[in-house]
Amino acid sequence: MIKIALIDDHELFRKSLSTLLSFSTNFNVVYDTNDGLAFLEYIKENDVDIILLDIQMPIINGFELCKILKSIQPEIKILIVSQLNSKEVTHHVMTCGANGFFSKNSSPNLLENAIENIMENDYYFDDELGIVIKDAILWERREGYTLDFSESIYLSDREIEIINMACVEMSSKEIANKLCISTRTVENHRKRIMEKTRAKNFIGVILFALKINAITLDNFS
């Protein structure tokens, strides 16, 4: 069962979300709060698989909290859930280390799929991944924002092959079937790639590969 924490300053929304998730036998909401700092204390002694996190909150906003959580527990999954939806928000979702974005304007029926996608594939966005990546890169270019990526990191042909398949949103199981290897081997490759690139999630890996020209935007078509 997937252990879920909800962090949102709107109590009605938070409780409604908790009720919605309780209908699934796959989910267990173990904690909900409007206080990000309180959750930092909770996580010290309790396990959580995925956090559904709002952006606009008192004391500490969702992006800053996400960065702290990823520095403490890099393996924890974080889905940003917000009514804010822009290229700038998408950019910040990626750079803070979150595993995806779910709009509060989306159908509640899609939330279960979003959570399961993150647990299996490490990422989820409402729109197709290629559109999200392109929008974020276009925003960076317009704003003159650059990240300092070292081009000395070597990616093997197999690693680039796996990144290419992730670009078209193939799961680890689908990649394994395509390459005739085990799912565990694919997951080990993904973990090694993230360690090499120092990415906080596989979205970060894809951005890294784009910025060193190991792949191109055409890979998303």
Read off the pLDDT of residues 175-198 as tens digits, 9 standing for 90 and up: 999 999 999 999 999 989 988 888
Question: Which tokens in the block code for residue 94?
Answer: 């990626």
Q: How far apart are the first and last CA of the chain?
A: 35
pLDDT interval class at 52 (50, 70, 90): very high
Helices (H), 23-181: 36-42, 62-72, 87-95, 111-121, 129-143, 157-167, 172-179
Q: Is residue 177 part of a domain?
A: yes
Could you tell me the CATH number of the domain that includes residue 197? Answer: 1.10.10.10
Q: What is the pLDDT of residue 89?
A: 81
Residue 207 has pLDDT above 90, yes or no: no
Q: What is the pLDDT of residue 65?
A: 96
Residues 64 and 109 in one domain: yes
What is the reported pTM? 0.78
Q: What is the pLDDT of residue 21?
A: 94
Q: What is the pLDDT of residue 194?
A: 87
**Helix 183-197 × helix 202-211 angle, to 10°:** 60
State how far the Cα of 41 lies from the Cα of 94, in Å rounded to an integer: 25
Q: Is residue 135 part of a domain?
A: no
Residues 82 and 189 in one domain: no
Q: What is the mean pLDDT of the chain?
A: 86
Residues 203 and 112 in one domain: no
Q: How many domains does the chain contain in total?
A: 2
Q: What is the pLDDT of residue 125?
A: 81
State how far the Cα of 51 lies from the Cα of 67, in Å rounded to an integer: 13
State how far the Cα of 191 lies from the Cα of 105, in Å rounded to an integer: 33
Mean pLDDT along residues 155-159: 92
State how far the Cα of 76 lies from the Cα of 118, in Å rounded to an integer: 11
What is the chain's alpha carbon radius of gyration, rounded to the nearest angstrom? 17
Range of the domain at 94: 2-127
Is-contact 55 79, C-beta < 8 A? no
**DSSP assignments along 156-199, one per residue:** -HHHHHHHHHHHTT--HHHHHHHHTS-HHHHHHHHHHHHHHHT-
Query: What digits encode the pLDDT tens for the residues 129-156?
Result: 667 776 766 666 666 655 555 557 888 9
